[in-house]
Structure 1
Amino acid sequence: MAQLKQEITLFSGVAQLSTTLLGTGLFMVPAIAASIAGELSLWSWVVLLIGICPIALTFASLGKRYPNAGGTAFFVRKAFNQRLEKSIAWLFLSVIPVGVPAAVALAGGFLRPLLPDALNHSFIAQSITVLLLVLVNLSGAKTSGRIQSLIAVSVFTLVAAFWWYGDITPSTIQMPSVTSENWALIGSSLAVMFWCFVGIEAFAHMGEEFKSPERDFPIAIIIGCLIAGATYWACSVVIVKFHAYGSTQFDSGSIPYLAQLLFGSKATLGISALGFAACFASINLYTQSLSRMLWAQAREYRPQSRIAHLSASGVPANATFIVGLVLLISCFIGEFTQLNLEFFLKLANGAFLMVYFMAMLSACKLLTGARRMLAYISLVMCILMMACLGWSMLYALGLFGLLVYKIKPVNQPNPNIAK
């Protein structure tokens, strides 16, 4: 049976997860959250980080015990059955038409100022982004990890520069007081902010490619989440201080606005390059995880198919080409729908939350002792976040129910033979 190369180190793993969690989210979610909750969004980040910690730790325990490219789908099969495994795999893939177009469009928006006038078109920029994603993924996880490590350092440097030039010190930060009426606003902002931590389940697909998965995989998840959470909060402090929120222009333009305000117009091209790199890093891991999901399913159920083959460099090339084509089609459709980012984020978050919920439910059955208790806590956290999403959860719940109903049971005995 074909096996992926084990090339990911602890450092590159932390870099891949932290840049994935930051990626597109850093350039839109803090401003959108501040538009919903204002200064209270600073507390929203604290609440979200507290809520995500047990989920991250549970994912770390699952990945340590069951390192597999199938990710959550593999956990679900180990805990339950192949029918639910396939349903959750297709639910994960369903994020492509609702979540990925918005992310690629944002990356393309940063790329456009860097392109010559003849190529300065939205769909062309998105197509170039998808092509680069395919090329980087074909180069293997090791090269991808090095690229994302450089991007991670650049993003942290940018946020640190915002604090320096914005004259922000710990003594100047004032967390707003919270009353009972404020929790509704905090909950509403959490429905959007969960997008910032939806890379954990994608990262679970990379466990099989760690050099030392039992040691490094859980540490990478924990450190990556903490770094990303602290960076989001630090960026939100700057956005709130300079009131870079409250309009549709700020939803995806708060970071360029702050850069021009604090650094001057000379920084515009640099911010565009960094914005594209950060968004690219986020989508890159999803492209890896989606291709590995397809490959893992093919390896398990259709080992002789072309999708189950690996390239000479140990990469699921055919699966990567398929994901790239679907991304391109999704971007073409997304280009003409013109729906706002908040709408897409909530639908995608619903699908991700359902994936998280099934992973935590599997952990309740697969893990033991203190880890099982942590899984139960994580399950409650997922339910609370689902409540915050409200109607947006209907997309994920309806689709998951349809998948469970339509997918036929696997390896069931023929009743005629039994007779």
Structure 2
Amino acid sequence: MSRASRGSHPGGPPPRRGRLTAAQGTALYVTAVLGTGVIALPALAARVAGPASLVAWLLLVLMSAPLALSFAALGARHPDAGGVSTYARLAFGDRCAAVVGWCFYLAVPTGIAAAALFCGSYVAAAVGGGRLTTSVTAVVLVAVGASTNAFGLRLVGPVQLLLAALLVTLLILAMVLSLPHASTDNLQPFAPHGWPAIGAAAAMLIWSFAGWEAITHLAGEFRHPERDIQRATWAAVVVVGLLYLLLALAVITVLGPDAHRGDAPLAELMSRGMGDHARPLAAFAAVLLTLGSANAYIAGAAGLGSALARHGALPSWLARGGRAGEVPRRSLAVVSLLTALSLGAVVVTGAGAEPLVHLTNGSLVAVYVAGSAAAVRLLPRGTHGHRAAVVSLVAVVLLLLASGPYLLWPLAVTAATLLYLRLRGNRSSIVERESDRAAKGSRAEDIRAKDS
């Protein structure tokens, strides 16, 4: 139930206000979207497409603007912890909402686990220890993210604001200090793997721009959602877009052929400008980025789980703590457990973070398609939000087509969701029939008692 609906009861208590300001919302956006995209993706994209990966970055920046603005317009009109799942329900019904909710809810644990492993590799590069250091760092980051959220948004909001300021400062510092080492010669050959590689790089970079949907789950936590969400979105789009483009350009022009050879491009960039002693600083930046991203995603997923439970798409015991200003600790515990299991699985098997990235990307693209389609249907025609939704729908459908086998995971999640709903419906029908039989038996006993 949204804040608006709770406040509409005549004679009831005034609607409960959230605590997030526009500045804190901007921080949540920036840390959620930058996150581990800054840590890992510049090198991976360069490995796929070379300097032409800059075109993929530009395309994703341009695509992210209408996507973020359409989600912000939906959040302002329908502030609810269910986020994209709520919008899918309003536009297409309960089954679609449940599928979208499950896709996002199950994408968060794999995404956070992968992000923690990326960060762990930076720490290992700075202090040594190899896989053990990577794994221990990942476990600690997941635990800190879950614990922070357990204290509620009074702690999360200010922490995110501080993290956003620190990470932006560190990124700018790294790019400025490495600028004297940049060379346009490193832009040649521009497309060593051919122009089609740009599409493959763009599909990989979905991970970098994941996060625009996360803030919608916290829309009800803003003090003035109808105003602050739009302000936070515009500010974050500009900051994130510029930082990504400048960082990608710096990685290509400064590192050159080395851009795609290492696992820690930000550390390499900082070491060029500040010396090898900058590697610990890069590890510190990676910790900040990952912690900020984990905070935003865990908070959003916990709220989503509570909202899904309220609407019957998850067990009802998860619904507790889902109102604005409350902490959905039961749902938070489930998200934390699933994250720990995802992390444990890849650590034990030695599979690394890549499978988790693929699973997360596939789910998020499916969520984006559903969210954009819902925005097209729900937002008033002729408004800026509706125009942004149309553009974003076209863009995410193209990304969907480029995702290929990564879509197998959301298809499996869809099947599991529909099976759960069917079994739940069957159980409900059985309970209703048993209740009816019990009621009929009770009435028959009453009649016999009266006759006697």
TM norm structure 1: 0.87
Rounded to whole Å, the distance in 2 between the matches of 1:12 and 1:245 is 39
Rounded to whole Å, the distance in 2 between the matches of 1:363 and 1:403 is 23
Cα shift at 1:306: 6.0
1:113 and 1:120 in contact (8 A); partners too: no
Cα shift at 1:349: 1.2
Q: After superposition, where does 1:49-88 map in structure 2 within 5 Å?
A: 49-88=61-100
| Paired position in structure 2 for 1:383 | 397
Cα RMSD between the aligned structures? 3.5
The one of 36, 50, 54 equivalent to 2:48 is 36
| Paired position in structure 1 for 2:36 | 24
1:356 corresponds to 2:368: yes
Rounded to whole Å, the distance in 2 between the matches of 1:205 and 1:312 is 11
> Which has the higher mean CA deviation after the structures are superposed, 223-232 or 404-413?
404-413
After superposition, give the CA deviation of every residue in 1:212-248 in whole Å (9 maximum; x if it has no partner): 0000112212321221121111111111012366687
Taking structure 1 as reference, are residues 359 and 409 closer, same or farther at Cα in structure 2, changes over 3 Å only?
farther
Q: After superposition, where does 1:201-350 map in structure 2 within 5 Å?
A: 201-243=213-255, 250=262, 252-301=263-312, 305=317, 307-309=319-321, 314-339=326-351, 341-350=353-362
> What code does the residue aligned with 2:52 have?
L
| Paired position in structure 2 for 1:92 | 104
1:35 and 1:246 in contact (8 A); partners too: no
SS of the residue corresponding to residue 212 of structure 2 reads helix
| Paired position in structure 2 for 1:374 | 388
1:87 and 1:403 in contact (8 A); partners too: yes
> What code does the residue aligned with 1:376 have?
V
| Paired position in structure 2 for 1:394 | 408
Taking structure 1 as reference, are residues 129 and 51 closer, same or farther at Cα in structure 2, changes over 3 Å only?
same
2:81 and 2:303 in contact (8 A); partners too: yes
Structure 1 residue runs without a partner (length 5+)? none
Aligned residues between the structures: 415
> What code does the residue aligned with 1:229 have?
G
1:45 and 1:233 in contact (8 A); partners too: yes
Cα shift at 1:326: 1.8
Rounded to whole Å, the distance in 1 between the matches of 2:109 and 2:152 is 25
After superposition, give the CA deviation of every residue in 1:119-164 in whole Å (9 maximum; x if it has no partner): 9644332222122112210222232122222222222222222332
Q: After superposition, where does 1:114-263 map in structure 2 within 5 Å?
A: 121-167=133-179, 182-243=194-255, 250=262, 252-263=263-274
After superposition, give the CA deviation of every residue in 1:372-409 in whole Å (9 maximum; x if it has no partner): 34322221111111122222223223432553355239
Rounded to whole Å, the distance in 2 between the matches of 1:128 and 1:193 is 26
> What code does the residue aligned with 1:18 have?
V
Higher relative contact order (CA 8 A, sep 6+): 1
1:57 and 1:218 in contact (8 A); partners too: yes
Rounded to whole Å, the distance in 2 between the matches of 1:130 and 1:54 is 31
Cα shift at 1:320: 1.6
Higher Cα radius of gyration = 2
Rounded to whole Å, the distance in 2 between the matches of 1:79 and 1:299 is 18
> What code does the residue aligned with 2:407 have?
M
SS of the residue corresponding to residue 242 of structure 1 reads helix
SS of the residue corresponding to residue 326 of structure 2 reads coil
Rounded to whole Å, the distance in 1 between the matches of 2:369 and 2:71 is 11
Rounded to whole Å, the distance in 1 between the matches of 2:391 and 2:122 is 39
> What code does the residue aligned with 1:377 have?
V
> What code does the residue aligned with 1:309 have?
G
SS of the residue corresponding to residue 267 of structure 1 reads helix
Rounded to whole Å, the distance in 2 between the matches of 1:311 and 1:206 is 11
2:116 and 2:137 in contact (8 A); partners too: no
TM norm structure 2: 0.81
The one of 47, 55, 68 equivalent to 2:59 is 47
After superposition, give the CA deviation of every residue in 1:83-139 in whole Å (9 maximum; x if it has no partner): 22111111112214543321121233345589998x964433222212211221022
The one of 101, 105, 118 equivalent to 2:117 is 105
SS of the residue corresponding to residue 265 of structure 2 reads helix
Rounded to whole Å, the distance in 1 between the matches of 2:208 and 2:147 is 25
> What code does the residue aligned with 1:266 have?
H
> What code does the residue aligned with 1:78 have?
L
Taking structure 1 as reference, are residues 234 and 386 closer, same or farther at Cα in structure 2, changes over 3 Å only?
same
